Amino acid sequence: KATHKEGISMKPRIGIMSRYLAKDNRFVTKAGYIYAISAVGGLPIQIPIADVADVDAIAGMVDGIIITGGADVTPLVYGEQPVPAIGPTCGANDRFEIALIHAALAKKKPVLVICRGIQDINVAYGGTLYQDNPSQISRDICHNQVAAGTERTHSAAIEPGSYMHSIAKCDTMLVNSFHHQALNTIGDGLKVSARAMDGVVEAVENADGSVFAVQWHPELLYAENPEHRAIFEAFVKRCAAK
């Protein structure tokens, strides 16, 4: 299949969210997302946190969107006050990203959601969060590993019959874990597709899998683990079909 036509790439254009780093006054996108999308035949495009009024235009320019990892979600967007153990938040980031998710859904553009993004998408669907796992739900499993990101540290049980299961083609997979927030009530229209052994939600999806979210970081695992690479392959394939 041709990937270029008259100098224009025919690869699916994948918009990848940036983060605002206040201390450096920069928008940054971690390289792993760019490499992963490139590796499976997508054209990565960085999306800055811009004017919320422009989310429709941005969603219209790409074939799919990746919501990436980052800081905690401000609990104000789901109607709660911050608990003492909450980490750094950026309300402008949250509001832009939630608006972009709604814009993508309205345009039927596939959305792949990673790490912090799973918290964002759950809020976009009307769900709530545990603001701080260790103090709020006292789990027995470490979800904020000190090991390198390429190290898989805990298991996730994949829901039979889920889109996740059709991608990973296994009942249990090993994942990395860099989150101290987790999903509480699940947004209406999402369903859980993977859980850690302590019950913490590790993946959700919508009815047709066009919205697909994982709590871990597959962009750090795809090179050596086919079941994690499959997440990006399935997503870019879906974007190409649009």
**C-alpha span between 231 and 32 (Å, rounded):** 14
Return the number of the residue (216 or 232) whose C-beta is nearest Mn ion.
216
Return the number of the residue (177 or 210) whose C-beta is nearest Mn ion.
177
**C-alpha span between 60 and 153 (Å, rounded):** 38
Let me know: does 48 contact 18? Beta carbons within 8 Å.
yes
Exactly one of 68, 153, 162, 177 binds Mn ion (CB under 5 A); that residue is 177
Query: Could you say which of 90, 97, 115, 180 is catalytic?
Result: 115
To the query of whether residue 6 is one of the catalytic residues in this protein, the response is: no
* Min CB(17)–Mn ion separation in Å: 20
Size of the site for Mn ion (CB under 5 A): 2
For 80, the token pair is: 């709660």
**C-alpha span between 15 and 66 (Å, rounded):** 6
3-state DSSP assignment of residue 27: strand
To the query of whether residue 202 is one of the catalytic residues in this protein, the response is: no
**C-alpha span between 239 and 210 (Å, rounded):** 9
Return the number of the residue (16 or 182) whose C-beta is nearest Mn ion.
182
Return the number of the residue (216 or 222) whose C-beta is nearest Mn ion.
216
Stretch of residues binding Mn ion (CB under 5 A), selected from 122-130, 176-184, 222-230, 234-242 = 176-184
Amino acid at 90: C
* Min CB(156)–Mn ion separation in Å: 7
* Min CB(210)–Mn ion separation in Å: 24
Return the number of the residue (116 or 143) whose C-beta is nearest Mn ion.
143
Quick check: 228 binds Mn ion (CB under 5 A)?
Answer: no
Residue whose structure tokens are 């969060």: 129
Let me know: does 124 contact 98? Beta carbons within 8 Å.
yes
Cβ–Cβ contacts within 10 Å for residue 83, how many?
A: 12
Query: Could you say which of 143, 179, 180, 217 is catalytic?
Result: 217
Q: Give me the 134-173 binding string for Mn ion, x by CB under 5 A, dash otherwise.
A: ---------x------------------------------
To the query of whether residue 217 is one of the catalytic residues in this protein, the response is: yes
Cα distances from 185 to residues 15, 68, 93, 128, 195, in angstroms, run 28, 21, 22, 5, 14
Active site positions, annotated: 115, 217, 219
Which chain residues interact with Mn ion by CB under 5 A?
A: 143, 177
